[in-house]
Each structure stands twice: as structure tokens, then as C-alpha cells.
Amino acid sequence: MIFTPLYIIFLILVFILVWLFIKTIDERKWLTLLVSVVLTPVVYFYIFYPLLNIFSSYHHEKHFDNVAWKKAPALRYEMSNEIIDKQLFNGKSKKEIESILGKSEWYGWDDSIKANSPEKWNYNMGFKPGAFNSNQECLELVFKNDSVVKSKQYQLEYIYEKKIDSVEVDKKI
């Protein structure tokens, strides 16, 4: 186990809270200390830490790798920060992008022509882990004169399929 400063601070905080709680139950100092020392790791590792992981949106980050991009589309979000922060694809042509990322999965909407534009390529990057996350991460590359001028990341809300009652299906058949 690695003892980081954040871990030590959280452990002390949990110890103090457990100490204060146990003190309300029993006034014997040695018993309060013993129970606090034993319960602190249990409370930290089985209650506090799992809740922290459920409600925080931390995820692993990786450097961009076109083999991993094509092999694991559901984990592309791990490479998103580097793609956006460094604007990795700016200045690259459509052919270069197609060889690196593959064919565009869909074209983005362009208000000026009121249609999907072949100058806006979109790629699905999967879902970031989280308890209540229903948003799909997406990457959009905007082309001008056959080269990328802008990369942006956005989220689409994923709508799950509606369940159809078997009675309705039978009536339709």
C-alpha cells in the first residue's frame, strides 16, 4: 500500500470522526482508542473510499495511440485530454485522419447549410466511468480546405431503448 499525503489526511479525518462517535458511546479512553484504531481502516476502505470512487469522475488517462484507438473504441475517452489539449490533429488532411482514426462515424450538423457536413467528422469515444453518467463522449474534427482546423470534445446524452410490452407486440403482429 502506498501512503500518500491525501491518504494520511483522509485517514486522520476518519479517525477523528470515529473517535468522536465512539466517545459518545463509552467514556473509557483505552477502549475508545482501540475501537477507533480498528474501525478507522474499515470505515475508510469499505465506506468512505468506495463512495468517493462512485461519485468522483476520475478516470485513467493515456497518451494517444492509434492502435488502441481502433482496438478499444469504448476506452477512447482515456486519450481525449491529450487530443484536445495539444490539438494533435490540427493541420492534418482527411486522408491522414482516416489512416490514423479510421472513417468518420458520422458527420456533424452545420447550421450554414442546414445539413450534416462532410467537413465535420465525429467519433464516439465511449462513456467515462461514473455512477450516474449517461453521457457519451464524442470527438469532432472540423475541416477547412481539406485540413483539420479545430478539434473539440462534447457529450451526447445516451437514450436507452424503450421496453415494449409483449401485449403490444402481439397486437401488432
According to the model, what pLDDT value does residue 169 have? 46
Residue 165: its pLDDT value, please?
57
57 three-state secondary structure:
coil
Q: Which CATH class is domain 66-157?
A: alpha beta
How far is 43 from 38, CA to CA, in rounded Å? 9
Residues of the chain with pLDDT under 50: 169-173
Supply 94's cell numbers. Answer: 482527411
Q: Could you give phi then psi for residue 66, rounded to 5 degrees? A: -65, -25
Task: Output the pLDDT for position 139.
Answer: 92
DSSP 46: I
Mind giving me the DSSP string for 159-173? -PPPPPPHHHHHHH-
Q: In the prediction, which pLDDT does 96 show? A: 92
pLDDT of res. 142: 93
State residue 144's pLDDT score: 92
Domain extents in the chain: 5-55, 66-157
E-strand spans in the chain?
Answer: 106-110, 115-127, 135-144, 147-157
